[in-house]
Amino acid sequence: MRKRNTLLAMVVLSLFAMVSFTVAEYSTYPPKKNVPIFTKVIYEGNDQVYNDYPLEEGEFYNPILQGCYPDPSITRKGDDYYMVCSSFAMFPGVPIFHSKDLVNWTDLGGVLDDITEFNPHDTGISQGVYAPGITYNPHNDTFYMIVTAFSGGLGNIIVKTKDPMKGWGSPKKLDFGGIDPSIFFDDDGKAYVVHNDAPDKGKELYNGHRVIKIWEYDIEKDQVIAGTDEIIVDGGVDITEKPIWIEAPHIYKKDGSYYLMCAEGGTGDWHSEVIFKSDSPKGPYIPAPSNPILTQRYFPKDRENMVDWAGHADLVKGPDDQYYGVFLAIRPNEENRVNTGRETFILPVDWSGEYPVFENGLVPIEPKLKMPKGVTNKTGQDGFIPNGNFTFEEDFSSDKLDYRWIGLRGTREAFIKQTKKGLEITPFSTNIKERKPTSTLFHRQQHKTFSFTTTLEYEPKSEKDMAGVTAYQNENSNYVFGITKKGKQNYLVLQKNSKPNWRGETVSKIIATEPIDLDGPIDLNISAEGDKYQFSYAVNGSDFKTVGGTVSGDILSTDVAGGFTGALLGLYATSGNDIILED
């Protein structure tokens, strides 16, 4: 079993070979004199919906995971619930959370936390790993996490553990294609894997036509059994209506019958959840007459506090013996843009009849829910993840860096060092626009209205040096706000990087520059009210000055930039700055 807290030297040495950086780039430890030091970060979220709907006794907020935590999957052992989400090229891969009650959650880090085994070093941000499934097998007291990895030639992989609190075993490559796998353990101990795949060659009837396949699984060998694969759903609920992107399958057993639940309609505004039933795990599966059982696609786009794109769900029995479903959905801003990304929501599920139905999942989803009986809301307290509007302060003085801080395409420990002065970031020679690991420590944007402020001590030595902050959707869509040098003068620069031109080159534009004297620390701030973003600074700790005015958050939205992630806010440093300032 791997240990989560691998020694820093081991992590760095493993990254040498995997990321193909030169030894010279890593020889920056101990840091150079001009290494940037970030001494404080304050993230404040202030969405109006939480001001308009204060919690009353016995209530909690939905979503339960704010920001880019899509594709949730959940399992239970006794009183312990474990939930995983997609992470794409963020590192560590596959964030995992623990709860005793489905309301109060703790962050356990990432399942795939060994860079020598999962290394998304050269992938786009929306590649890496996504759509994980987590399942507890009571027959051997083992947890399984199965996922598709779009990096390093891994494909579909599975990892196991007896205790998710203590880390996971090494990935095992599985011999099948497709995406969105999940594993099901029957009462007799037999195991099955289901996943999305393309139709058999020559049988694709329309764009978005997909199938659900099932395999028998050998628990001893941890491998699907060759030749056992069958198609159990072709197209979706009704192939005559040309349903698109049947995916994210999960099998459940209840009262002797087997239920197959899938997402259908794509991950956008036609997203939904549908259910099928069978007398056998391998089918045939008959769709419920009441499908879909969860969707937000039928409602006006100008509805208040809109939640949309709901789907990609998983079911679990709660502490009150009631079923619940976790699923992804979005909360778009006033321009109907998706900057916080796909988030994890939860709803109670009524399974008193033949088929499960998400309670209030076929009407506009509300921002609050009643808690399971006997549960106390402790979100934001005692180490539990905060929910609603909250303030998070980080001075980097604790021995263990909060799991909310993540790397991109590589481990954060490769470039950070916690010191008495603050967090040192040793700059890589890569810059934010490259599809490589960058020396950037990221925090998810979790609110539509927020403020992200950091205090920086830094003195660039040349025009190749830059440090500051970034608002980042992907390598081609981001803002950079930082300090660099031209001649003997230091400058604050705000740059916008947007979609590539016809030559495939990222279109970069300097929005504003400002000469600045660095006699001490400087505060840098990113703030937003919906689609309107501002970048500002203060040299006296209080009087902030905006640079570049108000800019659009369009390039930070999923629907404009493309891909599957939400916006990230980063502490950024590079020795490969390519922003050219005019004389």
Q: Clarify whether 229 is annotated catalytic.
A: no
- DSSP-assigned letter for residue 406: B
Considering the candidates 114, 197, 247, 314, report the single residue annotated as catalytic. 247
Backbone angles phi, psi at 295, to 5 degrees: -170, 160
CA distance 151 to 128: 5
* Residues 565/474, Cβ–Cβ less than 8 Å: yes
As a residue count, the chain comes to: 583
CA quadruple 29, 30, 33, 37: dihedral sign: positive
Nearest to 96 by CA among 147, 155, 43, 172: 147
What is the SS3 assignment for 9?
helix
Q: Residues 381-411, buried b or exposed e (16+ Cβ, 10 A)?
A: eeebbbbbbbebebebeeeeeebbbbbbbbb
What is the SS3 assignment for 96?
strand
CA distance 190 to 214: 13
Is residue 370 classed exposed, middle or buried when 0-12, 13-18 and 19+ CB atoms within 10 A define those classes? exposed
Considering the candidates 71, 264, 424, 465, report the single residue annotated as catalytic. 71
341: region left, alpha or beta (phi > 0 left; psi from -120 to 50 alpha): left
Q: Clarify whether 122 is annotated catalytic.
A: no
The distance of Cα 301 from the centroid of its chain, to the nearest Å, equals 25
Nearest to 199 by CA among 190, 187, 207: 207
For 529, the enclosing helix (H) or strand (E) is strand 522-529
CA distance 186 to 190: 5
* Residues 324/356, Cβ–Cβ less than 8 Å: no
* Residues 99/107, Cβ–Cβ less than 8 Å: no
Would you tell me how many other CB atoms lie within 10 Å of the CB of residue 227? 7
CA distance 358 to 65: 19
**Interacting residues of 367 by C-beta distance below 8 A, sequence separation 6+:** 49, 50, 53, 61, 62, 305
- Residue 223, CA distances (Å) to 58, 182, 191 in order: 45, 13, 10
User: Cis before residue 92, ω within 30 degrees of 0?
Assistant: yes
Residue 295: half-sphere exposure toward Cβ, Cα within 13 Å: 21
Q: Residues 47-60, buried b or exposed e (16+ Cβ, 10 A)?
A: bebbeeeebeeebb
- Write the single-letter amino acid at 275: I
Backbone angles phi, psi at 179, to 5 degrees: -140, 175
Active site residues: 71, 247
